[in-house]
Amino acid sequence: MSKLKVYGVAGSRAYRTLWMVNELGLEYESIPVHFADGSAKTREYLAINPNGRIPAIDDDGLKLWESMAINLYLAKKHDKGLWPKTLEGEALAIQWSFWVMTEVETPTLAVLFHRVFLPEDQRDPKAAEDGEQQLQGPLKVLDQALAKTGHLIGSTFTVADLNVASVLAWAKIGRANLSAYPHVEKWLIAAMQRPAAVKAAPRRG
């Protein structure tokens, strides 16, 4: 059995995978494939992820890509409390993972890119504002979902919380105003402060 390989640098969607493997306490080999230096387009890496994107994993021969699918797989395989205990819970984990990718990721990226990530002369404040505006509906939905227990499924932190928070972390870094969504704000700060999330985060400075 070979050691789990995680492909992708922390300052990318691979943060989600790195957070999960740290949360599960897995031993793994980190292979710092970068999205911008051509290393995701080499023949060797395309054999892992033919899309030429990060993250991807190689788990003893299973080559898997798509950040949410990777996290759902790892949470279920290494059941350390992150995987829901019921079929209904599993359905909700899948629901929230699809939801964050389809409803939240694109506007979140607009906020992050146009406030923080792009060089200043390439930032468009209007694009950031539009992204923040588009997030209002999904944030309201999320706030309502968190109101009861402070978690998305039951009353403990699961893969659903991790997958959604790992995307919304970019909104926080992009200084999106979350003050109208107190449950989201509290939950997101707590999630981002989990030791595994801190360990996975890109080093700054």
Strands (DSSP E) along 55-174, which ranges?
A: 56-59, 62-65
Angle between helices 125-146 and 105-112 (to 10 degrees): 130
The tokens 């700060």 sit on which residue? 189
How far from 163 is each of 3, 20, 48, 126, 132, CA to CA, in Å? Answer: 23, 9, 22, 28, 20
Q: Does 66 bind ligand GSH (CB under 6 A)?
A: yes
In the complex, least distance from residue 4 CB atom to ligand GSH, rounded to whole angstroms: 17
Q: How far apart are CA 96 and CA 135, in angstroms?
A: 15
Q: Does 7 bind ligand GSH (CB under 6 A)?
A: no
What's the one-letter identity of residue 203?
A: R
In the complex, least distance from residue 48 CB atom to ligand GSH, rounded to whole angstroms: 12
Q: Which stretch binds ligand GSH (CB under 6 A): 53-61, 115-123, 141-149, 182-190?
A: 53-61
Q: Exactly one of 4, 6, 7, 13 binds ligand GSH (CB under 6 A); which one?
A: 13
Q: Exactly one of 4, 40, 146, 159 binds ligand GSH (CB under 6 A); which one?
A: 40
Q: Exactly one of 19, 24, 53, 99 binds ligand GSH (CB under 6 A); which one?
A: 53
Residues forming the site for ligand GSH (CB under 6 A) = 12-13, 35, 40, 52-55, 66-67
